[in-house]
């Protein structure tokens, strides 16, 4: 019996071993199946230490996608804003010319400036060519300078600088033509006003435009000290470096050219108390009286 028991136990043990062996075999087979299944899906087993790195990679990819979308939205917004600005400036009429203002005119009629400037109402302000407008206004004889500017949202401003009379030229039939430093006739007058010297010349007034002698005479008068300027009654200019002044007192001053004005005025102030009739200060270092 003992042998039977032993055989029984041995048999149970054998069966048990067989069961355990089957279980082990089954477990190994299942594990192998799991590994094969993962490999069939193309995935690699991730160790616990590798999981945070995978999460960080996914987070970086998500952040990169967000940045790309943000860049696209910014570009679209900029294009929309640019389109809106272009429409406002060119197509809406919000910034189009509605008024033209002229300043600085005294001799030139404002209506003449507006007509010559030819600024069309309704023109987008951004398309107003100020240089071309200024060039047109400068064709007016009495205009010496002009500045054209735009004033947002809808105004053009034309600031005119008119010519200023510097000399009076006697006319054969009486009266005077008043000319500026360029020899351009500014206006005519029946009498010569005080402070506007007579320019002595045999040339016709029409020939004085651009004359260097006229320019020299006007330049010298402009640099004289006030106490002397108001005493000048006439100017004779044989050449630009020989400007000669006649004073109301009967004195004659050979001023010379437009150089060394301060030194000439200083020397003349020293010499005039001698009450001479003629002063030559064309070269201040060697002034002469007689």
CB of 114 within 8 A of CB of 120? no
**Is the pLDDT assigned to residue 5 strictly greater than 80?**
no
Considering 64-78, 79-93, 115-129, the range whose residues carry the highest mean pLDDT is 115-129
Distance CA 231, CA 213 (A): 21
Has residue 83 got a pLDDT over 60?
Answer: no
CA angle 65, 66, 68 (to 5 degrees): 65
Determine which of 7-11, 43-47, 92-96, 206-210 has the lowest per-residue pLDDT on average: 7-11
Structure-block tokens of residue 224: 């004289």
Tens digits of per-residue pLDDT, 41-55? 444 555 555 677 777
Percentage of the residues of the chain whose pLDDT score is greater than 90: 62
CA 57 to the chain's CA centroid:
52
- Cβ atoms < 10 Å from Cβ of 122: 9
Q: Is the pTM of this model over 0.85?
A: no
206-218 tens-digit pLDDT: 999 999 999 999 9
Q: What pLDDT is attached to residue 12?
A: 40
DSSP track, the chain: -HHHHHHHHHHHHHHHHHHHHHHHHHHHHHHHHHHHHHHHTT--PPPGGGHHHHHHHHHHHHHHHHHHHHHHHHHHHHHHHHHHHHIIIIISSTTB--EEEEES-SSS-HHHHHHHH-PPTT-BGGG--HHHHHHHHTTSTTEEEEEEEEETTTEEEEEEEE----EEEE-TTSSEEEE-TTS-EEEEESSPPTT--EEE-SS-GGG-TT-HHHHHHHHHHHHS-HHHHTTEEEEE-SSTT-EEEEETTS-EEEEESSSSHHHHHHHHHHHGGG--SEEE-SSGGG-EE-
Model pLDDT, residue 213: 97
What is the per-residue pLDDT for 290? Answer: 87
Measured CA to CA, the distance from residue 39 to residue 68 in angstroms comes to 34
Report the alpha-carbon angle 167-173-176, nearest 5.
Answer: 15
pLDDT average, residue stretch 248-267? 95
**pLDDT value of residue 94:** 75
What pLDDT, on the 0 to 100 scale, is given for residue 44?
A: 53
Confidence band for 76, pLDDT divided at 50, 70 and 90 = low
Q: Looking at residue 65, what is its pLDDT?
A: 76
């Amino acid at each position: 019996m003992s042998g039977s028991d032993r055989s029984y136990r041995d048999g149970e043990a054998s069966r048990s071993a067989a069961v355990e062996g089957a279980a082990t075999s089954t477990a190994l087979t299942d594990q192998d199946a799991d590994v094969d299944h993962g490999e069939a899906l193309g995935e690699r087993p991730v160790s616990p230490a590798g999981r945070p790195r995978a999460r960080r990679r996914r987070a970086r990819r998500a952040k990169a996608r967000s940045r790309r979308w943000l860049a696209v939205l910014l570009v679209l917004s900029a294009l929309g804003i640019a389109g809106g600005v272009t429409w406002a400036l060119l197509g809406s009429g919000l910034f189009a010319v509605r008024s033209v203002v002229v300043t600085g005119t005294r001799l030139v009629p404002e209506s003449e400036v507006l007509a010559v400037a030819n600024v069309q109402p309704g023109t987008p302000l951004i398309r107003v060519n100020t240089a071309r407008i200024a060039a047109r206004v400068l064709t007016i004889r009495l205009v010496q300078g002009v500045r054209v500017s735009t004033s947002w949202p809808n105004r053009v401003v034309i600031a005119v600088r008119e010519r200023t009379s510097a000399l009076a030229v006697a006319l054969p039939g009486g009266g005077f033509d008043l000319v500026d430093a360029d020899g351009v006739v500014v206006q005519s007058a029946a009498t010569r006003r005080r402070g506007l010297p007579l320019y002595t010349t045999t040339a016709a007034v029409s020939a004085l435009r651009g004359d260097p002698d006229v320019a020299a005479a006007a330049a010298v008068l402009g640099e004289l000290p006030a106490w002397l300027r108001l005493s000048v009654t006439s100017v004779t200019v044989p050449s630009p470096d020989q400007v000669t002044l006649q004073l109301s007192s009967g004195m004659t001053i050979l001023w010379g050219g437009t150089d060394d004005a301060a030194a000439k005025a200083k020397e003349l102030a020293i010499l005039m108390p001698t009450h001479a009739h003629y002063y030559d200060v064309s070269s201040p270092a060697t002034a002469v009286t007689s």
